[in-house]
Structure 1
Amino acid sequence: MKSILKITLPAFIGLASMLTACQSEPEVGTPLYTVAETSNLPKLYIHDLANQGNKGELNVVNANGELIVKKDTVEFYVRLSSALDKDLQVSVAENPSATKTDGAVALDKGAVNILNPTVTIAKGALVSTEPIKVVAQQGAALDTLLTSRSNGAVTLTLNAAQGVDVASNYGNMNITINYKESNLVDDGNTDGLTAMSTSDYWVVDGYNSAVNQLTDGSTGAYNMWWNYVSNGPFTFVVSFDNPTLISAFEVLPATGYTNWTVKTLTVETSKDWITWTKQGEITNSSANIANANPFVVRFTKPVNCQYIRLTNIKANFSEMLVIGELNVYQ
């Protein structure tokens, strides 16, 4: 006896709906839901042990309204995750849209000069044959710092190259341009300058008392100036008969008391003893002190003044400050 399957209309509709639902959500990997392929191409990236986190630094100084670019260079290599069977030329370019400021000002294109924007990774090699070199560059983009009076930020990005992919996390070099306001040259010298006669200037302390030991021409123990650090901080003022264009001055250590010399000081200048202009703060290097060399304070731009005030003078030694002589240069 043959069985006859009877399906009512409501049951048939329910069955059709179930079949349709099962067919509407194909699994990932089917032709309807393809999986994005991961590229097997070698990865191009920036990662240099000398630049932790792909970060570099350049320095500029605002010297009385003029932005001075320091002689710094950021260098970094470009790398491949696996070698190619041919030479590969790779390049970088400024990319302001990718700049992360971290409190600095994002600078427009032109703030830096990429000295060699294109380098080569040789056949079979993983690293570019030479580093990319970058320096700060004078111009409108960099002059933004004169207004913001803060650090600047620049980002360089790897350009695409045929046959490779740029690694997503290592395609940028982030450069901070450190901004400083100072008219003083670090580790300065007196090259090309003329020493003034000690009869053309005199020195007083913070109490306006004459300090003849600093202009007597001797750094010997019987002619040196000294005081206990506990009596500081100390102030000296160098005075001239008339406003004079000054390029530098130097503090000489006393003979036999090298380690007791000046470590740091602040420099101000004035034409009338009323209005003072801060020229900057400066530190005597440890090497300079160890070699008993003069502590040269040179102005980036010579200053026309009648008075030079040295304040916040701190000693290299914890107990005494000892100074042999103070010379002035034009």
Structure 2
Amino acid sequence: MENRIFYAAIKMKTNNIQNFLKSMSAALLLPLALTACQSEPEVGSTLYPSEGDEYKAVAYIDNHLYNPKNSMKTVYAQAGTSPNLEIPGDTLRLHVKLTAAADKDLTFNLRIDNTKLSQTETENVQVVGDDAYKLERKTVTVKQGRLQSDEAFEVVLNDKSKTLLEMKDGGKGLTAFTFDGSDGIKLSEKYNTFRWELGKEVHWVNPNGTVDNLKMLDVHSYDVLTNYSMPGMELSDDNKDNYARFLIGTHKTSWLRVNLHEETPIAAIQLTPAGMFWGDRLYVLFMKEVEVLGSNDGETYFRLGYATCPFVPTAAQEPWNIVFYSAQPVKYLGIRTISTFSSSQENNPVFVSEMRLFR
């Protein structure tokens, strides 16, 4: 009798423990089940919902860069006062992606929507609209069962744009691109906008210009700073055997600098390579790529343009003419050497034998 009571007590205790464990398991699993029901796949996740799940595919655009995220910058140029814009080959390319495979073909359209820009973003820039761009492909499709559109949205700058032409030198522009989906597809709130930042420069150097019909300035109307940044006549004495030495570099003490005695409209600069010196071919150290700068006070310089020597210099010492689209009124000139015909290394030497200015 006592044994039966003892075993009954043990059985009751075992049942109580099992019931307790079941209750605890249910309590632990319930939050996980609720989380699974309420969670939505994050953008970029590879979760594939099955039929009956509450998950819905989210569409997004992503340039796959940490910085800049969904943005790009382009600097374009205007050729002097002409209507010609120098547009780089930058192209906006974006694929539409889904967080879950499409259950049918889904179509998306790209459009400009500058309401996506915040007030802070637009404080010091010009908001640029449709006129500045060519939407070469503005519709893409994500095929059934796919996570990404086969084709990408494609946008390029419009080289005939009135907006880009009228933007001031040094101006900055900003445009927001977004996209719309079909069939009520949900769009990511975080990854639905792409920003294109623009910068403009005016280049005054005319690569096809000549000095024909231009008047050469008297060499005594300006000073050329040569050795130790002191005025010298080495580049103005009509003697091609003499030369001055400069450096490849960004600091203005490395440049070929000219101080005019008064503000003068400069239409062209003529530079002549050095020749042979004790068997050394100094002409290979002539300027190949330069940046031409102007100033009104000798302290703050502004860019007039870049120029590249169109020929390889020889012992014949053929002069190179850098011609502007229109005369530039300046009191100071700076010619910064970016590279010579033998080097682009900072602080390497540059040799010039003669320099003339034209108006």
State the TM bucket, normalised to the shorter chain: 0.5 to 0.7
Instruction: Indicate the percent of aligned positions where both proteins have the same amino acid.
Output: 12
Change (3 A) 1:310 1:108: closer
Residues 228 and 171 (structure 1 numbering): CA distance in 2 closer, same or farther, change over 3 Å? closer
**What is the DSSP-based 3-state SS (H/G/I as helix, E as strand, rest coil) of the residue aligned with 2:115?**
helix
Compute the displacement of 1:158 (Å).
1.0
- Preserved CA contact (<8 Å) 1:54 1:174: yes
Partner of 2:180: 159
8 A contact 1:266–1:282 mirrored in 2: yes
Residue equivalent to 2:25 = none
* Matches of 1:66 and 1:199, distance apart in 2: 23
1:226 aligns with 2:234: no
Structure 1 residue 175: Cα displacement: 0.9
Give the TM-score taking structure 1 as reference length.
0.59
**Which residue identity is paired with 1:58?**
T
Separation in 1, partners of 2:328, 2:64: 46
Q: CA deviation at 1:156?
A: 0.7
Matched, 1:127 2:149: yes
Query: Is the 8 Å Cα contact of residues 116 and 133 (structure 1) preserved in structure 2?
Result: yes
Equivalent of residue 114 in structure 2, options 61, 81, 96? 96
Name 2:4's counterpart in structure 1. Answer: none
- Secondary structure in 2 aligned to 1:97? helix
Match status 1:78 vs 2:95: yes
Alignment pair present for 1:323 and 2:323: no
Deviations 1:250-293 (A, max 9, x none): 645545344464875543389xxx9xx976255678xx79x779
The answer for unaligned runs of 5 or more in structure 1 is 1-27, 29-33
1:235 to 2:250 alignment: no
Q: 1:70 to 1:134 in 2, by over 3 A?
A: same
Aligned partners of 1:45 and 1:80 also within 8 Å: yes
Tell me how far apart the structure 2 counterparts of residues 106 and 231 of structure 1 sit (CA, whole Å): 36
The 3-state SS of whatever aligns with 1:116 is: strand
User: What letter is aligned with 1:152?
Assistant: G
**Alignment partner of 1:80: what SS?**
strand
Residue of structure 1 equivalent to 2:333? 310
RMSD across aligned C-alpha pairs, in angstroms?
5.3
Q: Structure 2 vs 1, CA of residues 315 and 119 (structure 1 numbering), >3 Å: closer, same or farther?
A: closer
Residue 114 of structure 1: aligned partner: 134
Cα deviation, residue 78, structure 1? 2.0
Alignment of structure 1 residues 1-330 onto 2, 5 Å: 40-49=55-64, 52-61=68-77, 69-72=85-88, 73-81=90-98, 82-84=100-102, 87-100=105-118, 101=121, 104-105=124-125, 107-110=127-130, 112-116=132-136, 118-121=138-141, 123=143, 126-135=148-157, 138-139=161-162, 143=166, 145-146=167-168, 150-162=171-183, 164-180=185-201, 182-185=202-205, 189=207, 191=208, 193-196=209-212, 200-201=216-217, 203=219, 204-206=223-225, 210-212=233-235, 222-226=241-245, 234-236=256-258, 246=267, 249=269, 251=271, 253-254=273-274, 256-257=281-282, 258-259=284-285, 261=287, 265-268=291-294, 280-282=303-305, 297=322, 299=324, 301-303=325-327, 309-311=332-334, 313=336, 318=347, 320-326=349-355
What is the DSSP-based 3-state SS (H/G/I as helix, E as strand, rest coil) of the residue aligned with 2:136? Answer: coil
Deviations 1:3-23 (A, max 9, x none): xxxxxxxxxxxxxxxxxxxxx
Task: Check whether the contact 2:292–2:305 (CA below 8 A) recurs between aligned residues.
Answer: yes
